[in-house]
Amino acid sequence: MHVRYPVWLQTAQQRPGARVFATLFAVESCARASLSTVITVQALHLLGNARDVSLLFSIVGLTGLIASFSIPTLIRHLSRRRVYTLGALLLFAAAAALASQALPGQVLGMLFRVYGTACLNITLSLYILQYVRRDELTLAEPKRMQFGAIAWLLGPVVGVYLYERVATLAPFLVSGSMSLLLLAIFWVLRVSDSPGITAPNERSRRGPLRTIGRFARQPRLRLAWSIVFVRTWWWVFFFIYTPVYAMQQGLGELAGAIVISAGNGLLFLSPVVGRLARRYGVRAVLRAGFFISGVCTLGAGLWFESATLVIAMLLLATIGTVILDAIGNVPFLSAVRPREREEMTTVFRTYLDMAELVPPALFALVLSLFDLRVVFLIQGGVMLSMIVLLAYLPARLGQARIRLLPEGLLPTSRPGTRAFPLTPAEAPDG
């Protein structure tokens, strides 16, 4: 019997675009956001203090960083589709392990979650590089953030509410169910892999150290990595230390989750950020984001004793970080060379693991000597320091009047084989 699929699904199967990838990201966000605050709360219950929680996050981050370099090999041997499937299954396994509410299950669940997220992040980035045109990135990336906004708005607070008020297993059931839904949607869409990208070759067999060296020798890639690393550093700080601050001030666990959800809800502003970037350029908008986030985080540290002012400052800082979320990936997506997508994307996404490794380790040391206020002050200073580095980003990057259509961007029978210029040096700024 012939099955007639909806028009949107037929279109997605032919050539998926920004909306399809935004939908996948939204469902993945539901699976992760529902446990984002629960993980910190449960770790604090199990370990008893903020310093040990920081150390746990650092250990998990380091392990995830090392393990992530196996993903290109998995892609070459299994295909992108199967690695994406593995990522979704690992998110399900993470929810199951965390549901044990014991320290071994906590550690194992966090490790599954980190590696599963890496699989999903790398493969989705490769699909975006294959199917989304370069001149559409400043619209596609904000759309992806906008689609995920509802998950990050409701997930943190709903997860903690279910954990504290309904049943401790409830948020883990929600996360596991959304992981399976993600897997089902992905396989119904059947997004095709491009053989031109995934085929093994001599360059793709370089070891991790040579790959990192190759990445580090490209200034625009280094800068792109720094932008998203510092941005993610702030989110790690926000997700770990907002609940800790709320509990130390006697506000309760649910109060910290509400603040996190309210901050994430500002992701709905992402399309506005995309339009501003196309008008004023990515560099100017990124500078504004780092400035707002840095100044407001410093303010939270200065008024640390006033819970009302700290919460207000953190929410204002979130506006700046949402700006960075909406267009922070654009510098990398604009600069990566087509023949190095798989390798460079793997190195690029190490910002996630490094952001879960370096800040908690640093702050664990800080908290051994000082109180939580100093963590807020350091974080604000780090955000402001990025404004100087942005001087090296092309001023016109992402503006609407820059319309680059290199060979391979026009629709062909084999989409995605040449979506970008050969090298950033061969392409004009923007």
Q: Determine the pLDDT at residue 109.
A: 95
The rounded Cα 8 to chain-centroid distance in angstroms is: 27
- Residue 200 domain flag: no
- Residue 261 domain flag: yes
- Most confident range (mean pLDDT) of 326-330, 392-396, 397-401, 425-429 is 326-330
- Residue 167 domain flag: yes
Q: Determine the pLDDT at residue 415.
A: 29
The rounded Cα 119 to chain-centroid distance in angstroms is: 12
User: What residues make up the domain containing 327?
Assistant: 9-192+207-419
Q: Determine the pLDDT at residue 134.
A: 63
Q: What is the pLDDT of residues 155-164, one digit of tens each?
A: 888 888 899 8
Q: What is the pLDDT of residues 47-56, one digit of tens each?
A: 888 778 878 8
**Number of domains composing the chain:** 1
Q: Determine the pLDDT at residue 386.
A: 92
| Whole-angstrom distance, CA of residue 350 vs CA of residue 332 | 13
Q: What is the pLDDT of residues 246-260, one digit of tens each?
A: 888 888 777 887 888
Q: Determine the pLDDT at residue 207.
A: 60
Q: Is this structure's pTM higher than 0.75?
A: no
- Residue 424 domain flag: no
Percent of the chain with pLDDT over 90: 26
- Residue 1 domain flag: no
How many other CB atoms are there within 10 angstroms of residue 190's CB atom? 11
- Per-residue pLDDT band for 293 (boundaries 50, 70, 90) equals very high
- Per-residue pLDDT band for 116 (boundaries 50, 70, 90) equals very high
More confidently predicted of 125 and 142: 125
- Residue 323 domain flag: yes
CATH code of the domain covering residue 133: 1.20.1250.20
Mean pLDDT of 178-196: 79
Q: What is the pLDDT of residues 333-381, one digit of tens each?
A: 777 777 777 678 778 878 877 887 788 888 888 888 888 899 999 999 9
Residue type, 155: G
Q: Report whether pLDDT(123) > 70.
A: yes
Q: What is the mean pLDDT of the chain?
A: 79
Q: What is the DSSP letter of 253?
A: H
Which two tokens mark 406? 């290199």
| Whole-angstrom distance, CA of residue 5 vs CA of residue 119 | 29
Q: Determine the pLDDT at residue 55.
A: 84
Q: Determine the pLDDT at residue 387.
A: 92
Range with the lowest mean pLDDT among 184-188, 214-218, 416-420? Answer: 416-420
CA-to-CA separations, 184 to 84, 191, 375, in angstroms, rounded: 12, 12, 41
- Residue 390 domain flag: yes
| Whole-angstrom distance, CA of residue 186 vs CA of residue 20 | 10
Mean pLDDT of 58-71: 84
Q: Determine the pLDDT at residue 280.
A: 83
- Per-residue pLDDT band for 302 (boundaries 50, 70, 90) equals very high
Which two tokens mark 17? 């675009």
